[in-house]
Amino acid sequence: MRICKTPDETRDALKNESAIAFVPTMGNLHAGHVSLVAQARSRGGTTVASIFVNPLQFGPNEDFDSYPRTFGADCEKLENAGVDFLFAPTEREFYPEPQTYRVELPGIQNQLEGRFRPGHFSGVATVVLKLFHIVRPQVAFFGKKDYQQLMVLRNMVRQLALPIEIVGGETVRDGDGLALSSRNAFLTPAGRAEAPRLYRALGRAREAVLRGDADFSAIERDAALDLDTNGWKTDYVAVRRQSDLQTPLPGDRDLVVLAASRLGTPRLIDNLEMTREG
Amino acid sequence: MRICKTPDETRDALKNESAIAFVPTMGNLHAGHVSLVAQARSRGGTTVASIFVNPLQFGPNEDFDSYPRTFGADCEKLENAGVDFLFAPTEREFYPEPQTYRVELPGIQNQLEGRFRPGHFSGVATVVLKLFHIVRPQVAFFGKKDYQQLMVLRNMVRQLALPIEIVGGETVRDGDGLALSSRNAFLTPAGRAEAPRLYRALGRAREAVLRGDADFSAIERDAALDLDTNGWKTDYVAVRRQSDLQTPLPGDRDLVVLAASRLGTPRLIDNLEMTREG
């Protein structure tokens, strides 16, 4: 695996590659990332990963400084997973000047995650657009755990006419259902035991929708109550349609239930897709 | 010259071209555009032009509807100038859905032209970014008459890490100094005779700066007064530094004086670059 530190070096290294599959990450890799790399590898071209903890997508009171950085272990995992090129710039190389040209997003950026993380999705969209311009992939892979991020990036690519296929990778879970996440490392042992409640609550919400319960507000309230009576502080539970995460209309079949909740310090997010009968 | 109407067709037509020089236009072509095409041709690769009157960069009270559209004559000029591919989408092909993902710009977008045309530069940056994603040029040419546009696009490309060289083409002028512009067609005969005053006023402002006059406000006022006492309605005359169009600091050598003024209905813009001694 060749490691490139600067945009110029990366561009130069990739200039003769005609089929690039790309897995952008913030490092601290787990089995979810590795499964994205496996999907990228299966495309048969050149597999490129990136590691960059993007300051633009963290709010002033968020965990940018404490976000786990494990570069050596990450390189080993990527190498073992068969990545050909790793782009791992420093902040100074990626943002040599204050980033004043950014991606402006539609109103969905202020809902769900965006309501609790102002500016987050603009930061995500901007870093990914720059990464796409540097790596120039034909296909890029993002985990479904960050469902709103995946939706934002998919819509950005279509609206900005980028010739890139966006693929969502299934969320990888521990045996008890907890979605893998770098932020799980901040759970206490008791928190870790409690954490799968989020997945179970989402599962019950999904069951209720699939049973035909159309009172989404009640479903959302029940799930939040289940969490909050067990020590969680829930930001939201929301049943939305998959395409743009707006409130479902009666005819919308492809739905997703999303949640974000704090368990002590760590803030966990998760979601489950579903298709109801038409 | 092959004419492509859709993004997909354009991408497909250009997929094997490795060196593309690109001249984006809004049509109604004049010698200024033709000189940009000549520069593009001189690069020796494939020359691509586009014609698209971009609704996103026109304000609600601006001249989108009356903007001159002369597709047949434009095609003839491009063909004669040696263009290989023309991308000429309809509005519906270019914006199949409302464009909610856009380029967000720094504060300069609200100064000079931006002060009088709110949202204009975001509309320009967004259409050009999409065009770049579709055409994927190595180099793109823009006229210096739209100086602020050129500056915005140059900075956008650098900040978003697009692998594209941006070249500014010299403003082409009539014998009496008037900068060629599609909007000159809206001048009355008397207006056409008066119009070169803009160029002359900029020329005197430049002379004053190069003579060492450091009172830019007085220089700007004098030029505006010269215009307004002769029937113009001046939006601004401004001496700025070239790199970011901010107010010059004492050490800045590369300057430009820019102006926008109405002569009856048409609103004319022009500018002159200068380098003062250090």
- Do B101 and A103 make contact, defined as CB atoms within 8 angstroms? yes
**Would you call A9 an interface residue with chain B, using a CB distance cutoff of 8 Å?**
no
Which residues of chain A neighbour B130 with C-beta distances below 8 Å?
Answer: 160-161
Query: Which region among A202-206, B61-65, B177-181, B224-228 has the lowest average model confidence (pLDDT)?
Result: B61-65
**Tokens at A3, concatenated:** 């490691």
Residue B218's domain is classified under what CATH number? 3.30.1300.10
Amino acid at the residue B22: F
Q: Give the span between the Cα atoms of A276 and A251, in whole angstroms.
A: 10
- Chain A's closest residue to B160, CA to CA, is A130
Q: Give the span between the Cα atoms of B34 and B19, in whole angstroms.
A: 20
Mark whether A152 and A107 lie in a shared domain.
yes
Q: Give the span between the Cα atoms of B82 and A39, in whole angstroms.
A: 44
| Residue where a domain stops, chosen among B116, B147, B169 | B169
pLDDT in tens, B42-101: 999 999 999 999 999 999 989 999 999 999 999 999 999 999 999 999 999 999 999 999
Mark whether B140 and B199 lie in a shared domain.
no
Residue B175 resides in a domain: no
pLDDT in tens, B149-162: 999 999 999 999 99
Residue B278 resides in a domain: no
Residue B30 is among the residues annotated as catalytic for this protein: no
Residue B155 resides in a domain: yes
> Judging by DSSP bridges, how do beta strands A267-275 and B233-241 pair with one another?
unpaired
Of B99, B102, B159, Cβ closest to residue A100: B159
* H-state helical runs in A111-247: 113-116, 120-135, 147-159, 189-194, 197-210, 216-228
Q: Give the span between the Cα atoms of A136 and A15, in whole angstroms.
A: 9
Rounded to the nearest angstrom, the minimum Cα separation between B161 and chain A is 6
Mean of pLDDT values over B169-182: 97
Residue A162 resides in a domain: yes
Q: Give the span between the Cα atoms of B79 and A125, in whole angstroms.
A: 39
pLDDT exceeds 90 at position B258 = yes
What domain range includes position A31? 2-169
Q: What is the number of domains present in chain B? A: 2
Beta strands in chain A (DSSP E): 2-4, 20-25, 46-51, 85-87, 102-104, 139-143, 165-169, 233-241, 254-262, 267-275
- Do A101 and B162 make contact, defined as CB atoms within 8 angstroms? no
3 state SS of B43: coil
**Would you call A7 an interface residue with chain B, using a CB distance cutoff of 8 Å?**
yes
Residue B121 contacts by C-beta under 8 Å, 6 or more apart in sequence?
B57, B105, B108, B109, B113, B114, B148, B149, B152
Q: Among B137, B154, B101, B165, which residue's Cα sits nearest to residue A126?
A: B101
Mark whether B15 and B97 lie in a shared domain.
yes
Distance between first and last Cα of chain B: 48
Residue B33 resides in a domain: yes
pLDDT exceeds 80 at position B278 = no
Q: Give the span between the Cα atoms of B14 and B103, in whole angstroms.
A: 25
Give the pLDDT of residue B259.
Answer: 98
Mark whether A136 and A44 lie in a shared domain.
yes
Mark whether A82 and A148 lie in a shared domain.
yes
Mark whether A137 and A228 lie in a shared domain.
no
ipTM, 2 dp: 0.95
Q: Give the span between the Cα atoms of A136 and B126, in whole angstroms.
A: 19
Of B101, B161, B162, Cβ closest to residue A105: B101
Please say whether the beta carbons of A71 and A51 come within 8 A.
Answer: yes
Mark whether A135 and A190 lie in a shared domain.
no
- The 3-state DSSP composition of chain B as helix, strand, coil percent (nearest 5) reads 40, 20, 40
Mark whether A160 and A187 lie in a shared domain.
no
Mark whether A157 and A53 lie in a shared domain.
yes
Please say whether the beta carbons of A179 and A173 come within 8 A.
Answer: yes
| Residue where a domain stops, chosen among B105, B138, B169 | B169
Mark whether B148 and B188 lie in a shared domain.
no
Please say whether the beta carbons of A269 and A262 come within 8 A.
Answer: no
- Do B101 and A156 make contact, defined as CB atoms within 8 angstroms? yes
Residue A176 resides in a domain: no
Residue B92 resides in a domain: yes
- Do A133 and B160 make contact, defined as CB atoms within 8 angstroms? yes
Query: What does pTM read for this prediction?
Result: 0.96
Please say whether the beta carbons of A270 and A202 come within 8 A.
Answer: yes
Q: Give the span between the Cα atoms of B153 and B159, in whole angstroms.
A: 10
Which residues of chain A fall below pLDDT 70?
Answer: none
Residue A175 resides in a domain: no
Rounded to the nearest angstrom, the minimum Cα separation between A95 and chain B is 8
**Would you call B97 an interface residue with chain A, using a CB distance cutoff of 8 Å?**
yes
Cite the active site residues of A. 33
- Do A104 and B99 make contact, defined as CB atoms within 8 angstroms? no
| Residue where a domain stops, chosen among A169, A202, A232 | A169
Mark whether B123 and B162 lie in a shared domain.
yes
Beta strands in chain B (DSSP E): 2-4, 20-25, 46-51, 85-87, 102-104, 139-143, 165-169, 233-241, 254-262, 267-275
Mark whether A101 and A59 lie in a shared domain.
yes
**Would you call A6 an interface residue with chain B, using a CB distance cutoff of 8 Å?**
no
Residue B62's domain is classified under what CATH number? 3.40.50.620
Q: What does residue B2 show for φ and ψ, rounded to 5 degrees? A: -90, 135
Residue burial A134-153, b: 16+ Cβ < 10 Å; e: rest: bbbbbbbbbbbbbbbbbbbb
Give the pLDDT of residue A277.
Answer: 86
Q: How many CB pairs under 8 A join A and B?
A: 66
3 state SS of B152: helix
pLDDT band at B277 (very low <50, low <70, confident <90, very high): confident
